[in-house]
Amino acid sequence: MSVAPGLRRGDTVTAPTSRPATARPAERATTRRWARPQRSRAQWAGWLFALPALLMYAVFELRPILTAVQCSFYDWDGISAATPVGVANYTRVFTEPQLLASIVHSLVLIVFFTVLPVILGLAVASVVREIRSTWAGAAARTLMFLPQIIPGAASAIAWTWMYSPDGAVNQLLRALGLGSLTRAWLGDFTWALPAVGIIGTWLATGLCTLLLMAGIGKIDTSLYEAASLDGASRLQQFRAITLPGLRAEIGVCVTITVIAALASFDVVFMSTQGGPGYSTQVPGVQVYQLAFTENRIGQSSALAVVLSLLVLAVVLPLQRVFKEK
């Protein structure tokens, strides 16, 4: 057996370590120095990809918002020189009955745009879940979502015809022997706002139903089978399984429809234009009329800012309420 040069028989040979232990911190430092530029380049690449969208957002979203905030502190007709008025425009929003009433009307519309569609959507989605026929289920989903593909302005015009004195609504009431209830619904100071709200209910129910049906589809069916074996009724299954399982979807429905109610414009403008009188006036229509009919740009901007803050004040707490735990 040969012996390595420089060694004699009986000498103990110790296997050398691959790298000295003292070199590891230096190696880590070198690795970090190489990783930092790579990570930095990746971050810059991400920002470069997002840059076009950020520029579009800044030009078409942030700049108009900032301009509206600036105009809200001026008395300006859109042509002549603007005059600074401080917070006078905001004071008028909360003291002028006409402007304050428009905010109240938008809060009332939440009942028709949000509460009723969510309740109806839950009921319809629960019924459709029981339909075993694939064809019938698809037909039900299509019919419920149909109002969503119709523009809100077109829906408002169609409902205006239906609400007319000789329209479908009054003809149906006469056919049911309720002729004493017939009226010009959109011309009645008492019933005009609920009549406009029902248009919103018709538009929003399909969207809510579709979202809630998608949510029901992800609930484990074994939960319903176990509840049935334990003798739970349909109503008990709905309260114990369906409602908790649809927490996130209900939150989405409520958020979308609340924003639609507070910022409603097309349905109200095309059906009543805020009338009769100011009985259906809402902030969206009021902002348009102040700016383009009465040339009160500052007042219009102040109302638009208040409307935006109102939407945030209502929607942000809702996000916390419906946040999944």
Which pLDDT tens digit goes with each residue over 212-226?
A: 988 888 888 899 889
User: Any idea which of 9-13, 231-235, 260-264 has the lowest mean pLDDT?
Assistant: 9-13
Under DSSP, the state recorded for 60 is I
Say if residues 182 and 174 touch (Cβ distance below 8 Å).
Answer: yes
Q: What is the value of pTM for the model shown?
A: 0.79
283-295 average pLDDT score: 92
174-203 burial code (b ≥16 CB/10 A, e <16): eeeeeeeebbbbbbeeebbbbbbbbbbbbb
pLDDT over 70 (residue 199)? yes
Q: How many H-runs (helices) and E-runs (strands) does the chain carry? A: 16, 2
Q: What's the CA gap between 30 and 37, in Å, rounded?
A: 12
Q: What is the pLDDT of residue 306?
A: 93
Report residue 309's pLDDT band, with 50, 70 and 90 as the boundaries.
very high
Q: What's the CA gap between 206 and 138, in Å, rounded?
A: 13
Q: What is the pLDDT of residue 210?
A: 87
Taking only the tens place, the pLDDT of each residue in 16-25 is 544 554 556 6
pLDDT over 70 (residue 10)? no
Of 198, 193, 203, 163, residue with least CA distance to 181? 163
> Structural domains in the chain?
100-276 (1.10.3720.10)
Q: What's the CA gap between 182 and 184, in Å, rounded?
A: 7
Four-CA torsion 192, 284, 99, 276, nearest 10 degrees: -20
119-132 average pLDDT score: 84
Pick the most confident of 39-48, 146-155, 300-309.
Answer: 300-309
Which tokens is 147 given? 């109002």
Of 260, 309, 267, residue with least CA distance to 285? 267
Report residue 313's pLDDT band, with 50, 70 and 90 as the boundaries.
very high
239-264 average pLDDT score: 91
Q: Say which residues have a Cβ less than 8 Å from residue 36's Cβ, sequence separation at least 6.
A: none
Mean residue pLDDT of the chain comes to 85
Q: What percent of the chain has pLDDT over 70?
A: 87
For tokens 């108009």, name the residue.
Answer: 64
Report residue 29's pLDDT band, with 50, 70 and 90 as the boundaries.
low
Q: What is the pLDDT of residue 1?
A: 45
Which tokens is 174 given? 């006469």
Report residue 68's pLDDT band, with 50, 70 and 90 as the boundaries.
very high
Q: What is the pLDDT of residue 319?
A: 84
Report residue 84's pLDDT band, with 50, 70 and 90 as the boundaries.
very high
Q: What percent of the chain has pLDDT over 90?
A: 46
